[in-house]
């Protein structure tokens, strides 16, 4: 460091000290921004800076005294990162302290530092004096060392999650961070718990992930637009975005016509508000009544969350968004949900909830109904799934070549399970009841009625057994020890019961193929109840990318809230039919 630069730094430091320790009225962040920021080439708009109406309250919340955690979930390109940039500029002058700006990867960090951060700061005249006094070595794209504080741009990864203590933490695009990374980074502000800033910025993420959870921890404030005709103030919904229904000819959308005719319909007065820039200003006008919803009463203290969607920030571009939506719908109908996920997250800025794509359960083969057994029936089995207050049961009828469900039911008591068994003429040792959760009472029932207990096990690839001198992989095996309950009920037919251990993985894989209609040995009736279809669809195998090397990994997941009890029953039935020697386990 040269003598000259030391002197300059010194002077600046003394001046800052004088500034910081003098009591003065601190302008709100948005007021400060209007006075100090000159919009440069980094934005489509140039000139003196006027914050978008929906960015003002989040900005000003960032400037309040004391610790604050702010979560902004908003569309791509809707001005959300600008809030962070304005805040950082403000903080350099008004609340200095080590500040880090995280983005998802090395690449995005580099891009951000080169194309946005530097230009943003140097376009701020009141900050540019720092650059003049800054020695060259203190000024790199990804690290700016001011005399009184440093500003770093870093990728959000483990090696950058531990080191110095931060006062201000900006986490941009958190929907792309590895699980757990947000709280890891937030730990870096512990030393500043009295005045730190944690700012999360993201598009819509996935239901239940760290961004979504953080947003729900906060005040959950949604931007409301105002109808220019009737003054109705409301959170804008995509279902109110309409276009000319005549734009569809012979089943094909005329996308140009769609884009041109797209408008917003007021849910109160039904006025059609043309999607243009004049109306964009009117619907977002704070003086007309636009603004955020009230903060939620259940927010975690000092946690604020804000949301807006593309109807707010891209009103003059709704036509293009409508075309995106139509494309996403068309793709979804062909089974691809990626475009709809993109639309939901990037434009509506809503968390994506994985919904199972429509799948067809094995085509009903002979048009038979429940209650009609297979011709040449040689076996009848019933599987029972136990819940806290009720049971689910499936009865299947088997021949040497195929099987059919005979009955499906939700049953309210153990006695009604027994009645259901008798009504469907299932042999006592053909009843398989899951002992995973209510183990002792299931053993008791098995001893009372001569039923077989089952237990799912995580045995990838199944059990290795030897059959006629050949080693095979089986979906199940009978436990060598026979379990007994603590108490034997009067009238019990046996003192201990059979226990069938079932490989969850192998039976899931095979049932997945059954479900898709690929195995002749398994079919469903024409009139399966809705609960059956729902539960059979709920269990899905999804591909995940390994976070280290990106290799595909498969995982079973349950979607929706209906549960997977009947799926579990069908799995057990597959295993039991194999055990009974009815048919080979095709896989
Ligand atoms: Zn209206």
In a shared domain, residues 277 and 397: no
Q: Would 584 be classed as within a structural domain? A: no
pLDDT tens, 6-53? 455 555 555 555 444 444 456 799 999 998 888 765 555 567 788 999
Do 209 and 175 contact (CB within 8 A), yes or no? yes
Q: What DSSP string runs through 397-439?
A: EE-SS-EEEEEEEEESSHHHHHHHHHHTT--GGGEEEE-SSSH
The confidence score (pLDDT) of residue 343 equals 94
Examine the domain organization and report whether 341 and 477 are in the same domain. no
- Position 305 in a domain: no
- Asked whether 94 and 26 are in contact (CB, 8 A), the reply is yes
Q: How far is the CA of 265 from the centre of ligand 1 (A)?
A: 8
> 7 alpha carbon to ligand 1 midpoint, in Å?
63
SS (H, E, C) 50-85: CCCHHHHHHHHHHCCCCCEEEEEECCCCCCHHHHHH
Do 185 and 271 share a domain, yes or no? no
One domain for residues 184 and 268: no
The answer on 394 and 456 residing in a single domain is: yes
190 lies in which domain range? 24-217
The verdict on residue 175 lying in a domain is yes
**Ligand 1 centroid vs 240 CA: distance in angstroms?**
12
Q: If we measure between CA atoms, which residue out of 53, 61, 86, 72 comes closest to residue 313?
A: 53
216 burial level (CB within 10 Å; 0-12, 13-18, 19+):
middle
Instruction: Answer whether residue 12 is part of any domain.
Output: no
Query: What is the distance of C-alpha 11 from the center of its chain?
Result: 51
Q: How far is the CA of 285 from the centre of ligand 1 (A)?
A: 14
Residues 402 and 509 in one domain: yes
CATH code of the domain in which 471 resides: 3.30.420
**Together in a domain, 196 and 238:** no
Residue 354 included in any domain: no
Tell me whether residue 435 is in a domain. Answer: yes
Q: How far is the CA of 266 from the centre of ligand 1 (A)?
A: 5
Q: Which tokens go with 278?
A: 């004049």
The CATH number linked to 196 is 3.40.50.300
pLDDT of residue 22: 47
Q: How far is the CA of 226 from the centre of ligand 1 (A)?
A: 8
Q: Is pTM beyond 0.75 here?
A: no
For residue 261, report the distance from its CA to the centre of ligand 1, in Å: 19
Q: SS3 for 506?
A: helix
- 374 secondary structure, DSSP code: P
User: Which residues, including other chains, have CB under 8 Å from residue 110's CB and lie 6 or more apart?
Assistant: 141, 142
Q: Does 170 reside within a domain?
A: yes
Given 164, 182, 217, which residue is the final one in a domain?
217
> β-strands 143-145, 139-140: how paired?
antiparallel
**Can you give the pLDDT of all 587 residues of the chain as single tens digits?**
444 444 555 555 555 554 444 444 567 999 999 988 887 655 555 677 889 999 999 999 999 999 999 999 999 988 899 999 999 999 998 999 999 999 999 999 999 888 887 777 777 877 877 777 777 776 777 888 888 899 999 999 888 877 678 999 999 999 999 988 999 999 999 888 899 999 999 999 988 889 999 999 999 999 999 999 999 999 999 989 999 988 888 878 899 999 999 999 999 999 999 999 999 999 999 999 999 999 999 999 999 999 999 999 999 999 999 999 999 888 877 767 789 899 999 999 999 876 544 444 555 555 789 999 998 899 999 999 999 899 999 999 999 888 999 999 999 999 999 999 999 999 999 999 999 999 999 999 999 999 999 999 988 778 887 777 777 788 899 999 999 999 999 999 999 999 999 999 889 988 988 887 777 788 899 889 989 988 998 888 776 666 666 666 677 888 878 889 999 999 999 999 988 888 665 44
233 CA to centre of ligand 1 in angstroms: 9
Let me know whether 198 and 265 are in one domain: no
Count of the separate structural domains present in the chain: 3
Same-domain pairing of 210 and 232: no
End residue of a domain, out of 190, 217, 244: 217
Q: 283: CA distance to ligand 1 center in Å?
A: 10
Q: What pLDDT, on a 0 to 100 scale, did the predictor assign at position 586? A: 47
* Distance in Å, CA 268 to ligand 1 centroid: 5
pLDDT of residue 264: 97
Q: 405 and 452 share a domain?
A: yes
CA of 280 to the centre of ligand 1 (A): 15
Same domain, 451 and 550: yes
Centroid of ligand 1 to alpha carbon of 234 (angstroms): 10
Exposure b/e, 490-519, CB count within 10 A at least 16 = b: eebebeebbbbbbbbbbbbbbbbebbebeb
Q: Distance from the CA of 272 to the center of ligand 1, in angstroms? A: 9
Dmax over Cα atoms in the chain, in whole Å? 101
Q: 196 with 262, same domain?
A: no
Q: Let me know if residue 560 belongs to a domain.
A: yes
How remote is the CA of residue 322 from the centroid of ligand 1, in Å?
Answer: 21
Specify whether the CB–CB gap between 175 and 203 falls below 8 A: yes
List the structure tokens of 358: 């429509």
Q: Which of 162, 184, 217 is the last residue of a domain?
A: 217
∠ at Cα 117 (116, 118), nearest 5°? Answer: 100
What's the CA-to-centroid distance between 30 and ligand 1, angstroms?
A: 30
Q: How far apart are CA 312 and CA 304, in angstroms?
A: 20
Question: How many A from CA of 445 to the centre of ligand 1?
Answer: 64
238 Cα: distance to centroid of ligand 1 (angstroms): 16
DSSP letter, residue 286? T
In sequence order, what DSSP letters do the residues of 224-278 get, joined into one string?
EEE-TTT--EE---GGGEE--GGGEETTEE-HHHHHHH-EEE-TTT--EEE-SHH
């Amino acid at each position: 460091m040269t003598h000259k630069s030391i002197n300059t730094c010194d002077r600046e430091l003394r001046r800052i000290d004088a500034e910081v320790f003098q009591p003065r009225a601190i302008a709100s962040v948005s007021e400060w921004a209007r006075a100090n920021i000159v919009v440069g080439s980094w934005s489509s708009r140039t000139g003196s800076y006027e914050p978008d109406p929906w960015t003002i309250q989040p900005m000003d919340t960032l400037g309040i005294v004391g610790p604050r955690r702010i979560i902004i979930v908003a569309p791509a390109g809707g001005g959300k990162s600008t809030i962070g940039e304005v805040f950082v500029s403000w903080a350099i002058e008004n609340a200095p302290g080590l500040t880090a700006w995280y983005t998802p990867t090395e690449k995005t960090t580099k891009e951000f530092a080169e194309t946005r951060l530097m230009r943003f700061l140097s376009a701020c005249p009141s900050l540019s004096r720092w650059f003049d006094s800054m020695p060259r070595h203190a000024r790199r794209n990804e690290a700016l060392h001011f005399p009184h504080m440093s500003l770093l741009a870093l990728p959000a990864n483990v090696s950058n999650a531990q080191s110095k203590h931060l006062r201000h933490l900006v986490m941009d695009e958190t929907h792309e961070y590895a699980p757990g990374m947000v709280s890891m980074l937030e730990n870096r502000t512990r030393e500043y718990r009295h005045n730190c800033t944690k700012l999360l910025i993201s598009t819509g993420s996935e239901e239940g992930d760290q961004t979504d959870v953080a947003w729900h921890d906060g005040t959950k404030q949604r931007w409301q637009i105002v109808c220019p005709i009737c003054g109705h103030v409301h959170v804008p919904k995509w279902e109110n975005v309409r276009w000319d229904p005549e734009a569809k000819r012979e089943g094909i959308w005329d996308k140009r016509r769609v884009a041109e005719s797209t408008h917003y319909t007021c849910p109160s007065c039904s006025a059609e508000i043309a999607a243009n820039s004049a109306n964009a200003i009117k619907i977002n006008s704070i003086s007309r009544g636009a603004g955020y919803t009230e903060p939620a009463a259940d927010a975690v203290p000092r946690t604020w969350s804000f949301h807006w969607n593309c109807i707010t920030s891209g009103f003059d571009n709704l036509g293009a968004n409508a075309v995106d939506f139509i494309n996403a719908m068309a793709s979804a109908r062909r089974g691809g949900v990626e475009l709809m996920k993109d639309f939901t997250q990037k434009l509506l800025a809503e968390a994506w909830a994985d919904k199972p794509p429509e799948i067809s359960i094995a085509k009903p083969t002979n048009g038979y109904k429940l209650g009609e057994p297979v011709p040449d029936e040689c076996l009848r089995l019933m599987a029972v799934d136990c819940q806290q207050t009720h049971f689910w049961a499936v009865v299947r009828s088997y021949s040497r070549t195929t099987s059919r469900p005979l009955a499906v039911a939700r049953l309210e008591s153990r006695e009604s399970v027994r009645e259901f068994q008798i009504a469907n003429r299932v042999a006592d040792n053909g009843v398989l009841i899951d002992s995973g959760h209510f183990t002792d009472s299931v053993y008791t029932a098995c001893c009372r009625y001569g039923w077989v207990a089952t237990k799912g096990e995580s045995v990838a690839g199944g059990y290795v057994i030897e059959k006629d001198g050949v080693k095979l992989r089986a979906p199940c095996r009978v436990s060598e020890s026979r379990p007994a309950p603590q108490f034997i009920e009067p009238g019990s037919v046996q003192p201990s019961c059979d226990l069938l251990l079932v490989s969850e993985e192998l039976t899931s894989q095979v049932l997945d193929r059954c479900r898709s209609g690929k195995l002749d040995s398994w079919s469903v009736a024409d009139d399966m109840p809705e609960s059956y279809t729902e539960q059979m669809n709920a269990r899905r195998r999804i591909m995940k990318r390994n976070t280290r090397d990106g290799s595909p990994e498969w995982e079973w997941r349950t979607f929706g809230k209906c549960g997977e009890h009947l799926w579990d029953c069908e799995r057990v039935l597959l295993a039991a039919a194999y055990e009974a020697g009815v048919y080979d386990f095709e896989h």
